[in-house]
Structure 1
Amino acid sequence: MSNDDSKGVEKVQGPSSGLAVSIDDPIENPGLPPHRERLTDKDPKVAKRAERTVYTLFYISVAASIWAVAAYMLFPIEDMEYTSIRANNLYIGLGIAFALLAIGIGAIHWSKAIMSDKEYVEERHPTRGSDETRAAVVEAFKTADEESGFGRRKMIRNSLFAALIASILPGVTLFRGLAPHDAENSPVDLLKQTMWTAGEHLARDPAGTRIKASDVTLGSAFHVIPESLAGLSHSNGYLEEKAKAMVLMVRMRPEQLTEREERKDWSYDGIVAYSKVCTHVGCPVALYEQHTHHLLCPCHQSQFDVSDEAKVVFGPASRPLPQLPITVDDEGYLVARSDFREPVGPSFWEMH
């Protein structure tokens, strides 16, 4: 590097060429490269063929979405058989994958082969545009619509709309499997009935051993299931019944409980039992904070006050946890007085 004091210009000596270049010289704007026309720009037949390819891909997406919905019905996961579950996952997954893939390939081919690919230069300005400029923007959107062919190429536009709408259907269909369903009973009826009945012993989860009231110390929390649940096998509804009947039991001082008059006999000597199924979306409420007497749902942080009938004190849950009425038998073991007096689980199951 050398300095030319007479001209006030700094020069850089190239290592191989021996040329000196002034860094003060402005770099000339090379401009845009020459525009290369595509075959679809030159030949209307090629453009028409590209258009047919695009809307064919969109209609393939529609067919794949419909197939995913059909696969859900043809291979019901409720059969609980390995081959049915495997086929359900495989064919629904393939349908959704092809539906989304066809939309993606079609959109890319549309943009590369049919939409205008001319380059434009737009000068930026730091201030809000005038009314004339804003009107020009509206005109630019109209021009873009014309160049994309969105408004003019009805087959592509309509097939895209059909593909996008159809792609939602498999997901909507799969939501059906989240709700308990029965030929005769509604979800609300099913969730109103659990394995808890009058005289059903409270048992430790998962051991299934009975619990004496004297063994429940102050401040302790027990995970509880109906004793008769142990008689069910996994193929005979064990998990389904447990999901509805699981309970968390806590002991506090009786004077710490806020109870309505009609619920005073639902607890026993400060021992209360509440459904573990969160009333938001059904996650298990299993975290107990002894000092605040709050139950916490780990999924979305809903909190319930055990000392006040498990009322919601924080989070998205919309109603208290259902309480299980309890008492003791002649031997001092804890038993249920009855089933829950309201449906367990998320509040939306109550909507007909």
Structure 2
Amino acid sequence: MTLEQERSSSRVPQVPIEDPGLGEHTWRPTDVAEAKERRAERQVAALFVVSMVCTVVFVVAYFAIDIGDNWTTFAGLGASTLVLGLSLAGALLCIGVGIIHWARKLMADKEIVEMRHPAASSDDDREATLKALDDGLQESGIARRPLIRNTLIGAVGLLGIPAVVGLRDLGPLPGDKLFSTIWEEGMLLARDVVGTPIRPSDMEIGDLINGQPIALFETDEEGEPLYEGEDLLVNKAKASIVVVRMDPSDNTPAPGRENWAVDGILCYSKICTHVGCPINLYARKTHHLLCPCHQSTFDLSDGARVVFGPAARPLPQLPLAVNEDGYLVAQSDFTEPVGPSFWERG
């Protein structure tokens, strides 16, 4: 027989052995005794109810037991850790044991023979598979056992609560921190990295400067930085700006922003309103600012309007003025949240 003939013959389903050596089928007690069937059903439902109780215990313990409680329970483990672990484990274990008990005692129990078939199933095989799945669903008895079905749904549904509650441990809620930065009236604009203030005369038409609030470079009376560590990084990320200068005749200010520029000098947030990437790719002739992440493009001469890409909002603009020493300062904080959209943003 050639190799091609062997391959062809292997694709033909083989006839099953008439007597594979299986013994006679033994019926389970729950198959022949209705009382035992009812008892098994109640046992499965009880396991699902215990799972629900464990889930409720998890949620209550999460809020009722402080992590810093002095009393411990076992092997030096804190009460919060142990109760949360045991309650969540109990919720999952009871669902698993309940499903296994359900399958062993109540679902259909019979031997089947499966024909070998080629790897690529035919349409008939697919239809037969779907029918077998439907038959299995019917044989599981879930449709005619509402007690088991409802308690299982309740146990699995309640398991979503610990997952939601656990999200709290990802970090503190931001509160209103997303709506403001450290910019305030009279704060100097400073060059990024070096921290030197900016005069209008330092900039020529077409220039772009990456900037930060001067406060990020200042120290207190004892010479310690006002912002350092994580606090510095968070405030720097939110308050980063780009300062550009263009011919004043090219600027088309939005209504109410006629006095936000100084001799054609404009200031915008450096954080893209799409997903928060820092941007500074500037086309001097078109006044377009391009985000390198997803190519969102903003027209800085028209209120940072989005002209291309996935960003849905213009860049927030920082209103500028000049102080008595001739340096650029902010008139106020940004009048809208910086960065990408979030659900509480207007």
- Sort the TM-score into its range (normalised by shorter chain): 0.5 to 0.7
Question: What is the alpha-carbon distance in structure 1 between the residues aligned to residue 238 and residue 46 of structure 2?
Answer: 48
Q: For 2:302, give the aligned amino acid.
A: D
Deviation at 1:342, TM superposition (A): 2.5
**Native 8 Å contact 2:54 2:87 kept in 1:** no
Find out whether 1:228 has 2:222 as its counterpart.
no
CA distance in 1, matches of 2:154, 2:260: 56
Match of 1:63 in 2: 54
Distance 1:144 1:334, change over 3 A: same
> Normalising to structure 1: TM-score of the pair?
0.62
Residue in 1 that maps onto 2:100: 109
**Cα drift, residue 325 of structure 1:** 0.7
Aligned residue type for 2:149: R
Q: 1:198 maps to which residue?
A: 185
The answer for the alignment partner of 1:152 in structure 2 is 144
1:259 aligns with 2:253: yes
Match of 1:167 among 148, 159, 169: 159
Q: Indicate conservation of the 8 Å contact 2:280/2:291, yes or no.
A: yes
Where does residue 245 of structure 1 map in the other structure? 239
The number of equivalent residue pairs is 306
Match of 1:343 in 2: 337
What is the SS of the residue equivalent to 2:344?
A: helix
The 5 Å alignment of 1:169-318 reads 169-173=161-165, 179-181=173-175, 187=176, 190-216=177-203, 219-230=206-217, 231-234=225-228, 237-260=231-254, 262-280=256-274, 283-291=275-283, 293-296=288-291, 298=293, 302-318=296-312
Shift of residue 157, structure 1, vs aligned partner = 2.0
Report the Cα offset of residue 152 of structure 1.
3.2
State the Cα distance separating 1:94 from its structure 2 match: 5.2
Counterpart AA for 1:319 = R
Residue 90 of structure 1, CA deviation: 7.1
Give the unaligned 5+ runs of structure 1.
3-9, 12-21, 77-86, 182-186
Rounded to whole Å, the distance in 2 between the matches of 1:99 and 1:296 is 49
| Deviation string, structure 1 residues 176-217 (Cα, Å, up to 9, x no partner) | 657422xxxxx3xx5444322221011234554323344446
Give per-residue Cα distances to partners, 1:48-104, cap 9 Å, x unaligned: 55873576267436634762685378569xxxxxxxxxx9x9789958974895487
Query: Matched residues in 1 for 2:165 and 2:157: separation?
Result: 13
Deviation for aligned residue 1:308? 2.2
For residues 266 and 326 of structure 2, what CA distance do their matches in structure 1 show? 15
From 314, 323, 327, give the equivalent of 2:317. 323
1:52 is matched with 43
CA contact (8 A) 1:273 1:323 kept: yes
SS of residue matched to 2:313: coil
Note the C-alpha offset of 1:149.
2.5
Displacement of 1:320 in angstroms is 1.9
Contact 1:64 1:98 in 2 (8 A): no
- Separation of aligned partners in 2, 1:250 and 1:194: 20
1:264 alignment partner, SS class: coil
CA distance, structure 1, for counterparts of residue 91 and residue 250 of structure 2: 57
Moved more, 305-314 or 95-104: 95-104
SS of the residue 2:258 aligns to: helix
Could you tell me the TM-score, scaled by structure 2's length? 0.63
Deviation at 1:324, TM superposition (A): 0.4
Structure 1 distance, partners of 2:236, 2:307, is 26
Partner of 1:84: none
Residue type matched to 1:169 in 2? I
Q: CA 1:314–1:127 in 2, change beyond 3 Å: closer, same or farther?
A: farther
Q: CA deviation at 1:267?
A: 2.3
Q: Secondary structure at the match of 1:262?
A: coil
Partners of 2:325 and 2:37 in 1: how far apart? 88
1:290 and 1:348, CA in 2 relative to 1: closer, same or farther beyond 3 A? same
Shift of residue 302, structure 1, vs aligned partner? 4.7
Q: Aligned pair in 2 of structure 1 residues 28, 169: CA closer, same or farther (>3 Å)?
A: closer
Q: Given that residues 47 and 95 in structure 2 are in contact (C-alpha distance below 8 angstroms), is that contact kept between their aligned partners in structure 1?
A: no
Shift of 1:312: 2.9
Following superposition, the deviation at residue 162 of structure 1 comes to: 2.1
Unmatched runs of 5 consecutive residues or more in structure 2 = 68-77, 116-120, 218-224
In 2, Cα distance between equivalents of 1:227 and 1:297: 27
Given that 1:279 and 1:319 are in contact with CA atoms closer than 8 Å, whether structure 2 keeps it comes out as yes
Identity %: 34
